[in-house]
Amino acid sequence: MKVSLNHLRELVKTDISAQELSELFNLHSGEVEEYYQLATASNVVVGHVLSKEQHPDADKLSVCQVNIGGETSQIVCGAPNVDQGQMVIVAKPGAVLPGGFKIKTSTIRGVESNGMICSLAELGLDKKFVYSEGIEVIKEKCEPGDNPLEVLSLIDEVMALDLTPNRADLLSVMGVAYDTAAILDVELTPRKICIKEAAKECTVKIAIETENCTSYYARIIEDIEVKESPQWMKSRLIASGIRPINNVVDITNYVMLETGQPLHAFDYDTITTNKISVRMANPGEILKTLDEQDRTLTVDDIVITDGEKAVALGGVMGGCSTEITDTSKTVLLESANFNPSNIRKTSRRLDLRSEASTRFERKIDPKRTILALELATELFQKYAAGKVLKGHQAVDNIDYTEKVITTSTKQINDNLGSNLSNNEVMDILRRLNFDVKEDKNNLLVTLPTRRQDMTTYQDIVEEVGRIVGYDKLPLTLPKTVSKGFLSPSQLFRRELISKLTGLGLTEVVTYSLVNENRINDFTKEPSTSTRVALPMSLDRSTLTSSPLVGIIDVLKYNINRKNNDIFVFELGKRYNESEKLVVSGALTGVMSQTLWQGKKEVVDFFTVKGILDTLFDKLHLGHLEYEVSKDYKNLHPGQTAIIKDRSGQVGFIGKLHPEYAKDHDLKDVYVFELEIEKMDQVKRVLKKVKEINKFPEMTRDIAIVLEDTVLTKDILDAINKAGKRMLLSSEVFDLYKGTPLDENQKSLAIKLVFSDPKRTLETKEVDQRVNEILGVLKARFNAELR
């Protein structure tokens, strides 16, 4: 928000400089990004071009004789629009222009030039405010030698505010004036509006057909003259960053800047009926806006219609069909109040950000709706020679009841650590234009409608604190020191991260929003997606059903940059029917290698399985079980398993399906996902320490042939049960398939370790126990000793 201090001084009695006010605003109100002079130049005057002749040695240069007030100067000018009789801006020799550019007498192609005829850009104004290629021709009444900055109302200071979203009231000069008056403790200058109405009645009919428009006011102004705005108005618009167009458009913009209430002017002669109605757009309805773009509308868009077709996009932009032109004679002036949520959705979806939509999105003061209409009407009458029809038409459904907040001086002092008296607090609130009444020990503060950001007594405390000045509040030490602590679930998550990091994985953080087409990449069944209403892009439109979707992107990003060995995990959320915290991971490439031996450990299914087994062991969560699964469409059906602990299924592990991996330019990627809540709920099982066995161990290796469909887990479970207490451990160390075995057979080599903590085992009893084990395997799985 850029504020012209000339404009501000019309509403507040002060002669404070922009620098001083900026310093006070930073302390008491909002952040001031910068302050500056609107136009800066020294030793410049108004000049009258007495004659113009062609330069004798240059086709595009002119030699001008210019009266600069009491003397005539010869100036060589290259502007194509310079001409005899014009009043222009002349920088005399010795003048200093923006950027430190100094003007001096010079010879140009053999002709002496004593100064320069300037454009507004050369006085420091942004080029977007300069209409023609060339010099500025002054149309205001003036004399040679006058100060052109004064003639063009360019002697002004600008203060640029960086506003927070809650301070919508500061999106107007009036709002800044209220804060300035409170900070300086000075009076506001009331705006007096005088309108002379014609005898002819304003008969336009207004209808509101949607609750998303809370009020709509309209006036009819006839016989207007569309022309250039007065210079003072153009200069204030330029100071505020708005390019002047014509008096009709400029008046609506000027009033919006002052009041914060956006207005719109329709060419009333183009409206085919005597009715204005406000409704929601029909699905697929087309409206050509003022930027000559055909906009396809939705049911969330508010439109202004002539009773039949849409003529404007409410709160965002007008339509081409009712645009003000140089030949327009009758204006319908609109001042309305719309639902901020709908305006925000429309402007973002259509990428139509405007000064009007910015104000509607943050809520406007409902009491300014009629004020802005009347102020604009007065300006139309004064600067467009308009005839104002009698009365205005309106539909107003706003509840103007002002909110009352109860607080007390004690409560304010307790919150601020201050020692303000009751009178001091009441004086500050009255300076802010709040109505304050005493009720015993309480203060009843009535909030003005312009401060819709205030809802609780804490807001009152903040207002008092900022006007006093936070730098003026006494310093106080905290009365108590609160000892921080982590909850058990937080401690578990931190431990989980620490253990995974210790196992060689790196933590990553990915986006929770993904492309809608990818939400079922790692689910058993189609997932219910939660879609963002107004996504920034299609790739960030839907909440993910698994952090693995983002991790896959991390792998692609790194592999594309020749980082092929990747072992990552993430603690993230899975958004399905419910929100669950999970730990997901992916591994690919070489886990470890010994260069001098030429050995490499390439990641495979058992690498990831080993990491998870070790993780559960280090977290004292017990033993994991794995069951083959074919339920995950994007995982390899032969290398995927669900993971179970004592509580049931806790996650899954698997290799990316070759087709899915190919689609993402990946190879041999292994993934896992575990539900943290289920892990955290499992009772920790601490290992019991046993005395080291004093007696020797005896080992036996057996190789059995059995059906390929039999799970190794079931074989080991049967062996451990049959081995009883004598069997210390059983471990598969070889798997063979091929000749001379049948196609549906496999050979497993298993190492059995026997021991007894009380005595040395004899060979015959170990052999007997091995035979018992083989008998069990034969009976249950038809396994033969190889």
CA nearest to 626, candidates 651, 655, 656, 657: 651
Count of CA atoms in the C-beta half-sphere (13 A) of 743: 0
The string of pLDDT tens digits covering residues 637-670 is 989 999 998 888 999 999 999 999 999 999 999 9
- Read off the pLDDT of residues 261-308 as tens digits, 9 standing for 90 and up: 999 999 999 998 889 999 999 999 999 999 999 999 999 999 999 988
pLDDT at 600: 79
pLDDT at 238: 93
Q: Domains of the chain by range and CATH?
A: 2-38+157-184 (3.30.56.10), 42-151 (2.40.50.140), 197-396 (3.50.40.10), 404-465 (3.30.56.10), 488-681 (3.30.930.10), 698-785 (3.30.70.380)
- Judge contact between 82 and 48, C-beta under 8 A: no
Q: Whats the size of the chain, residue-wise?
A: 786
Provide the pLDDT for residue 706.
92
| Separation CA 37–CA 754 (nearest Å) | 93
Residue 560's pLDDT is 93
Q: Is the pLDDT confidence value at 90 over 70?
A: yes
Q: Residue 505's pLDDT is what?
A: 95
Which pTM value belongs to this model? 0.71
Closest by alpha carbon to 331, among 208, 219, 235?
A: 219
Q: How sure is the predictor about 258, in pLDDT bands with cuts at 50, 70 and 90?
A: very high
pLDDT of res. 337: 96
Q: Which of 365, 362, 364, 314 is nearest to 341 (CA)?
A: 362
Burial class (CB in 10 A: 0-12, 13-18, 19+), 72: middle
pLDDT of 67 higher than 60? yes
Residue 595: the pLDDT is 55
Weakest-pLDDT range from 142-146, 175-179, 518-522, 592-596: 592-596
What's the average model confidence in pLDDT over 91-97? 92
Whether 513 and 532 have beta carbons less than 8 Å apart is answered as yes
pLDDT band (50, 70, 90) for residue 597:
low
Residues 531/591, Cβ–Cβ less than 8 Å: no
Question: Looking at beta carbons, which pairs linking 309-312 to residues 24 or more positions away fall under 8 Å?
Answer: 310/281, 310/285, 311/266, 311/270, 311/271, 312/264, 312/266, 312/287
Average pLDDT, the chain: 91
Count the alpha carbons within 13 Å of 690 in the hemisphere toward its beta carbon.
5
For residue 652 the two structure tokens come to 């899954």
Here the tokens at position 291 are: 């930027």
- Look up tokens 């993402």; give the residue: 664
For the segment 476-488, the average pLDDT, to the nearest whole number, is 78
DSSP 7: H
List the one residue out of 13, 25, 14 whose CA is nearest residue 159. Answer: 25
Q: Write the pLDDT tens digit of every residue in 512-571.
A: 999 988 988 898 887 777 888 878 888 888 999 999 999 999 999 999 999 999 999 999
pLDDT for 445: 95
| For residue 131, pLDDT beyond 80 | no
Token pair for 88: 């222009």
Q: Among candidates 312, 308, 307, 413, which has minimal Cα distance to 357?
A: 312
**In this predicted model, what pLDDT tens digit does every residue of 305-319 receive, in sequence order?**
998 899 999 999 999
Could you read off the pLDDT of 230-254 as tens digits, one per residue? Answer: 999 999 999 999 999 999 999 999 9
In this predicted structure, what is the pLDDT of residue 23?
Answer: 94
Rounded-to-integer distance, Cα 446 and Cα 400, Å: 12
pLDDT of the residue at 778:
92
Coil, strand, or helix at residue 126?
coil
Q: Name the strands in the sheet holding 2-4, side by side, starting at the edge strand that comes first in the sequence.
A: 2-4, 157-162, 31-37
The answer on pLDDT for 126 being more than 60 is yes
Q: What is the mean pLDDT of residues 362-378?
A: 95
What pLDDT was estimated at residue 594? 59
Q: What is the mean pLDDT of residues 18-34?
A: 93
pLDDT at 227: 94
What is the sign of the dihedral through the CA atoms of 541, 543, 545 and 550? positive
Mean pLDDT computed over 376-398 = 94
Query: In the structure encoding, which two tokens stand for residue 275, read together?
Result: 């009715």
pLDDT in tens, 676-690: 998 888 777 777 777
Q: 68: which 2 tokens?
A: 């600069």
pLDDT attached to residue 578: 81
> How far is CA 735 from each of CA 323, 603, 738, 745, 746, rounded to the nearest angstrom?
82, 19, 10, 11, 7
pLDDT recorded at residue 70: 86
Residue 682: per-residue pLDDT: 78
Mean pLDDT for 58-79 is 93
Q: Check residue 483 and give its pLDDT.
A: 77
Is the pLDDT reported for residue 598 higher than 70? no
Residue 95, pLDDT > 60, answer yes
At 593, is the pLDDT very low, low, confident or very high (cuts 50, 70, 90)? low
Q: Which residue has the higher pLDDT, 579 or 480?
A: 579
pLDDT at residue 42, rounded to an integer = 86
The average pLDDT across 581-600 equals 80
